Protein backbone atom coordinates (compact mmCIF):
# COMPACT_ATOMS: atom_id res chain seq x y z
CA UNK A 1 0.00 0.00 0.00
CA UNK A 2 1.14 3.50 -0.76
CA UNK A 3 0.03 6.99 0.29
CA UNK A 4 -1.22 8.46 -2.97
CA UNK A 5 -2.47 11.88 -1.82
CA UNK A 6 -2.51 14.20 1.20
CA UNK A 7 -4.77 17.23 0.99
CA UNK A 8 -6.29 19.77 3.39
CA UNK A 9 -9.95 19.38 4.22
CA UNK A 10 -12.33 22.03 2.88
CA UNK A 11 -14.19 22.64 6.15
CA UNK A 12 -11.23 22.12 8.47
CA UNK A 13 -8.06 23.76 7.15
CA UNK A 14 -6.10 22.45 10.14
CA UNK A 15 -6.89 18.81 9.19
CA UNK A 16 -5.59 16.73 6.29
CA UNK A 17 -7.15 13.78 4.49
CA UNK A 18 -4.80 10.92 3.68
CA UNK A 19 -5.51 8.71 0.67
CA UNK A 20 -4.05 5.24 0.23
CA UNK A 21 -4.03 3.72 -3.25
CA UNK A 22 -6.24 6.65 -4.35
CA UNK A 23 -8.92 5.96 -1.73
CA UNK A 24 -9.63 8.06 1.36
CA UNK A 25 -8.28 6.29 4.44
CA UNK A 26 -8.07 8.63 7.46
CA UNK A 27 -7.46 12.22 8.56
CA UNK A 28 -4.98 13.89 10.91
CA UNK A 29 -4.29 17.38 12.22
CA UNK A 30 -1.35 19.27 10.75
CA UNK A 31 0.64 18.68 13.95
CA UNK A 32 -0.08 14.94 13.91
CA UNK A 33 0.74 14.72 10.21
CA UNK A 34 4.19 16.18 10.84
CA UNK A 35 4.78 13.93 13.84
CA UNK A 36 3.79 10.84 11.85
CA UNK A 37 6.18 11.87 9.03
CA UNK A 38 3.72 10.92 6.32
CA UNK A 39 4.27 11.94 2.70
CA UNK A 40 2.97 11.07 -0.75
CA UNK A 41 4.64 7.94 -2.03
CA UNK A 42 5.30 6.44 1.41
CA UNK A 43 4.86 2.67 1.45
CA UNK A 44 2.94 1.43 4.49
CA UNK A 45 2.17 -2.03 5.84
CA UNK A 46 -1.07 -3.37 7.34
CA UNK A 47 0.45 -2.82 10.78
CA UNK A 48 1.28 0.79 9.87
CA UNK A 49 -2.26 1.36 8.64
CA UNK A 50 -3.73 -0.01 11.87
CA UNK A 51 -1.46 2.32 13.83
CA UNK A 52 -2.44 5.34 11.75
CA UNK A 53 -6.14 4.50 12.01
CA UNK A 54 -5.76 4.42 15.79
CA UNK A 55 -3.98 7.77 15.68
CA UNK A 56 -6.75 9.15 13.48
CA UNK A 57 -9.40 7.99 15.94
CA UNK A 58 -7.58 9.71 18.80
CA UNK A 59 -7.16 12.77 16.60
CA UNK A 60 -10.91 13.14 16.05
CA UNK A 61 -11.55 12.80 19.78
CA UNK A 62 -8.95 15.49 20.49
CA UNK A 63 -10.59 17.78 17.95
CA UNK A 64 -13.88 17.42 19.83
CA UNK A 65 -12.12 18.22 23.09
CA UNK A 66 -10.52 21.33 21.62
CA UNK A 67 -13.99 22.57 20.70
CA UNK A 68 -15.20 21.74 24.22
CA UNK A 69 -12.29 23.76 25.64
CA UNK A 70 -12.95 26.70 23.33
CA UNK A 71 -15.88 27.84 25.50
CA UNK A 72 -13.91 27.90 28.77
CA UNK A 73 -11.25 26.01 30.70
CA UNK A 74 -12.26 22.56 31.92
CA UNK A 75 -11.17 20.57 34.94
CA UNK A 76 -9.74 17.11 34.40
CA UNK A 77 -12.93 15.62 35.83
CA UNK A 78 -15.12 17.70 33.48
CA UNK A 79 -13.16 16.51 30.46
CA UNK A 80 -13.29 12.89 31.58
CA UNK A 81 -17.04 13.17 32.18
CA UNK A 82 -17.49 14.72 28.73
CA UNK A 83 -15.64 11.85 27.04
CA UNK A 84 -17.56 9.21 29.01
CA UNK A 85 -20.81 10.88 27.97
CA UNK A 86 -19.66 10.57 24.36
CA UNK A 87 -19.26 6.83 24.88
CA UNK A 88 -15.53 6.51 24.27
CA UNK A 89 -13.54 3.58 25.61
CA UNK A 90 -11.45 3.93 28.77
CA UNK A 91 -8.30 3.53 26.68
CA UNK A 92 -9.19 6.47 24.40
CA UNK A 93 -10.26 8.57 27.38
CA UNK A 94 -6.96 7.97 29.17
CA UNK A 95 -4.90 8.71 26.05
CA UNK A 96 -6.86 11.90 25.43
CA UNK A 97 -6.62 13.13 29.01
CA UNK A 98 -2.87 12.37 29.08
CA UNK A 99 -2.43 14.32 25.81
CA UNK A 100 -4.10 17.44 27.20
CA UNK A 101 -2.41 17.17 30.60
CA UNK A 102 1.04 16.89 29.01
CA UNK A 103 0.43 20.10 27.07
CA UNK A 104 -1.06 21.93 30.09
CA UNK A 105 -4.30 22.36 28.19
CA UNK A 106 -5.94 20.77 31.21
CA UNK A 107 -4.48 22.07 34.46
CA UNK A 108 -6.59 21.91 37.62
CA UNK A 109 -4.45 24.49 39.43
CA UNK A 110 -4.88 26.96 36.60
CA UNK A 111 -8.57 26.05 36.44
CA UNK A 112 -8.98 26.93 40.13
CA UNK A 113 -7.10 30.22 39.67
CA UNK A 114 -9.18 31.28 36.68
CA UNK A 115 -12.46 30.18 38.27
CA UNK A 116 -11.85 32.33 41.35
CA UNK A 117 -10.57 35.23 39.27
CA UNK A 118 -13.69 35.24 37.08
CA UNK A 119 -16.06 34.78 40.04
CA UNK A 120 -14.53 37.68 41.93
CA UNK A 121 -14.73 39.86 38.84
CA UNK A 122 -18.23 38.99 37.66
CA UNK A 123 -20.14 37.73 40.69
CA UNK A 124 -18.24 38.01 43.98
CA UNK A 125 -19.11 35.44 46.62
CA UNK A 126 -17.70 33.89 49.79
CA UNK A 127 -14.67 31.66 50.12
CA UNK A 128 -16.98 28.87 51.29
CA UNK A 129 -19.02 29.05 48.09
CA UNK A 130 -15.89 29.19 45.93
CA UNK A 131 -14.58 26.07 47.66
CA UNK A 132 -17.89 24.31 47.17
CA UNK A 133 -18.05 25.20 43.47
CA UNK A 134 -14.51 23.97 42.83
CA UNK A 135 -15.06 20.77 44.79
CA UNK A 136 -18.06 20.09 42.54
CA UNK A 137 -15.59 20.23 39.64
CA UNK A 138 -13.49 17.63 41.53
CA UNK A 139 -10.58 20.05 42.05
CA UNK A 140 -8.20 18.86 44.76
CA UNK A 141 -8.25 20.78 48.04
CA UNK A 142 -4.57 21.68 47.72
CA UNK A 143 -5.24 23.44 44.39
CA UNK A 144 -8.27 25.24 45.81
CA UNK A 145 -6.42 26.45 48.90
CA UNK A 146 -3.46 27.62 46.83
CA UNK A 147 -5.72 29.60 44.49
CA UNK A 148 -7.53 31.21 47.42
CA UNK A 149 -4.23 32.20 49.04
CA UNK A 150 -2.92 33.70 45.79
CA UNK A 151 -6.01 35.87 45.32
CA UNK A 152 -5.90 37.28 48.86
CA UNK A 153 -9.70 37.41 49.07
CA UNK A 154 -11.07 40.14 51.35
CA UNK A 155 -14.48 38.82 52.39
CA UNK A 156 -15.35 41.93 54.39
CA UNK A 157 -14.84 44.11 51.34
CA UNK A 158 -16.94 41.74 49.21
CA UNK A 159 -19.75 41.85 51.77
CA UNK A 160 -19.64 45.64 51.91
CA UNK A 161 -19.93 45.81 48.13
CA UNK A 162 -22.87 43.40 48.16
CA UNK A 163 -24.60 45.41 50.89
CA UNK A 164 -24.17 48.61 48.91
CA UNK A 165 -25.58 46.98 45.80
CA UNK A 166 -28.49 45.19 47.49
CA UNK A 167 -29.54 48.25 49.52
CA UNK A 168 -30.85 49.65 46.24
CA UNK A 169 -33.64 47.07 46.46
CA UNK A 170 -36.48 47.88 48.84
CA UNK A 171 -36.66 44.49 50.59
CA UNK A 172 -32.99 44.62 51.56
CA UNK A 173 -33.47 47.79 53.55
CA UNK A 174 -34.33 45.30 56.28
CA UNK A 175 -31.18 44.13 58.10
CA UNK A 176 -32.57 40.68 58.78
CA UNK A 177 -33.27 40.03 55.12
CA UNK A 178 -29.83 41.34 54.24
CA UNK A 179 -28.19 39.05 56.78
CA UNK A 180 -30.17 36.06 55.50
CA UNK A 181 -29.09 36.80 51.95
CA UNK A 182 -25.42 37.08 52.88
CA UNK A 183 -25.59 33.93 54.99
CA UNK A 184 -26.99 32.02 52.00
CA UNK A 185 -23.96 33.18 50.04
CA UNK A 186 -21.73 31.43 52.58
CA UNK A 187 -20.45 34.38 54.61
CA UNK A 188 -19.97 33.96 58.34
CA UNK A 189 -22.25 35.70 60.84
CA UNK A 190 -19.27 37.52 62.35
CA UNK A 191 -18.16 38.94 58.99
CA UNK A 192 -21.70 39.94 58.13
CA UNK A 193 -22.13 41.83 61.41
CA UNK A 194 -18.78 43.57 61.08
CA UNK A 195 -19.54 44.62 57.49
CA UNK A 196 -23.00 45.93 58.43
CA UNK A 197 -21.54 47.90 61.34
CA UNK A 198 -18.73 49.34 59.23
CA UNK A 199 -21.22 50.61 56.63
CA UNK A 200 -23.09 52.46 59.33
CA UNK A 201 -26.13 50.26 59.24
Residue 173: the pLDDT is 85
* Tens-digit pLDDT profile for residues 106-162: 999 999 999 999 998 888 899 999 999 999 999 999 999 999 999 988 999 999 988
Residue 200: the pLDDT is 53
Residue 201: the pLDDT is 44
CA atoms of 111 and 64, how far apart (whole Å): 19
All domains in the chain, ordered by first residue: 3-102 (1.10.10.10), 108-198 (no CATH)
* Tens-digit pLDDT profile for residues 164-201: 888 888 888 888 888 998 999 899 899 999 888 876 54
Q: What is the 3-state secondary structure (H, E, C) of the chain?
A: CEEEEEEECCCCCCEEEEEECCEEEEEEEHHHHHHHCCCCCCECCHHHHHHHHHHHHHHHHHHHHHHHHCCCCCCHHHHHHHHHHCCCCHHHHHHHHHHHHHCCCCCHHHHHHHHHHHHHHHCCCCHHHHHHHHHHCCCCHHHHHHHHHHHCCCHHHHHHHHHHHHCCCHHHHCHHHHHHHHHHCCCCHHHHHHHHHHCCC
Inform me whether the pLDDT recorded for 33 exceeds 80: yes
* Tens-digit pLDDT profile for residues 16-30: 999 999 999 999 988
Residue 31: the pLDDT is 86
* Tens-digit pLDDT profile for residues 38-70: 999 999 999 999 999 988 988 889 989 999 999
Q: What is the 3-state secondary structure (H, E, C) of 133-144?
A: HHHHCCCCHHHH
Long-range contacts of 13-22 (CB under 8 A, 24+ apart): 15/59, 15/63, 18/52, 20/44, 20/49
| Percentage, residues of the chain above pLDDT 70 | 99
Amino acid sequence: MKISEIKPQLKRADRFSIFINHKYSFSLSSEELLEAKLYVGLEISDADLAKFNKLAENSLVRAQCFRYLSYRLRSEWEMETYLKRKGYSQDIIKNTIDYFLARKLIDDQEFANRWIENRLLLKPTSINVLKQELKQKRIKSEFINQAIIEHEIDELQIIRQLIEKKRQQHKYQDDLKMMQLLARKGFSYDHIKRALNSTGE
